[in-house]
Amino acid sequence: MILLGLGANLPSAMYGPPPATLAGAIDALAAEGVALDRRSPWYRSAPLPAADQPWFVNGVIAVTTRLAPAELLAVLHLTEQRFGRHRRDRNEPRVLDLDLLDYHGRVEGGGGSPVALPHPRLHERAFVLLPLRDVAPDWHHPITGQSVDALIAALPPGQQIERIE
């Protein structure tokens, strides 16, 4: 299973508010050979770390593709750029954020690899784990072996998130 995280807290010029932007991103990925298998409901979440910026809309999708992890990551970054994202500062507001969360349980990273699998911070983020559970309730972290429910139970306190769909 290949899992992608989606997020946005700014409107895009092409699609408008974040939920429409995220739906447009799913369509754009399909045009690049990344087929949607399942989609979580959208969630609304406070920025992490806490910041004076709009709340995010987040979700997780399960996809199928023939692209290798590095190729898929390149497609994700290109899609972000096409939607108007310019990477300047970490944790800045963004029109679109696409993350490669898991690629068939592979563990990669370090040694100059462009891809870190699984995503190195996914286990710390309610805005990833709650929608991930909707898409893949039996998923286990490829490194720790922990279930998604155990990871949710271990989340640091104070993360504000609500299902909006």
**Which is catalytic among the residues 39, 85, 125, 133?**
85
Candidates 10, 6, 160, 7; CA nearest to 93 is: 10
Amino acid at 125: R
Candidates 87, 80, 97, 88; CA nearest to 14 is: 80
Q: What is the CA angle 39-45-51, rounded to 5?
A: 140
Say how many residues make up the chain. 165
Active-site residue, 88 included: no
**Which is catalytic among the residues 39, 94, 125, 133?**
94
**Which is catalytic among the residues 39, 99, 102, 125?**
99
**Which DSSP category does 108 fall into?**
B
Active-site residue, 37 included: no
Residue 64: Cβ-neighbour burial (10 angstroms; 0-12, 13-18, 19+): exposed
Q: What is the CA angle 89-90-91, rounded to 5?
A: 115
Active-site residue, 125 included: no
**Which is catalytic among the residues 39, 44, 97, 102?**
97
Active-site residue, 134 included: no
Four-point Cα dihedral 36, 38, 42, 48, nearest 10 = -80
- 69 near 100, Cβ under 8 Å? yes
Q: Which residues are catalytic?
A: 85, 94, 97, 99
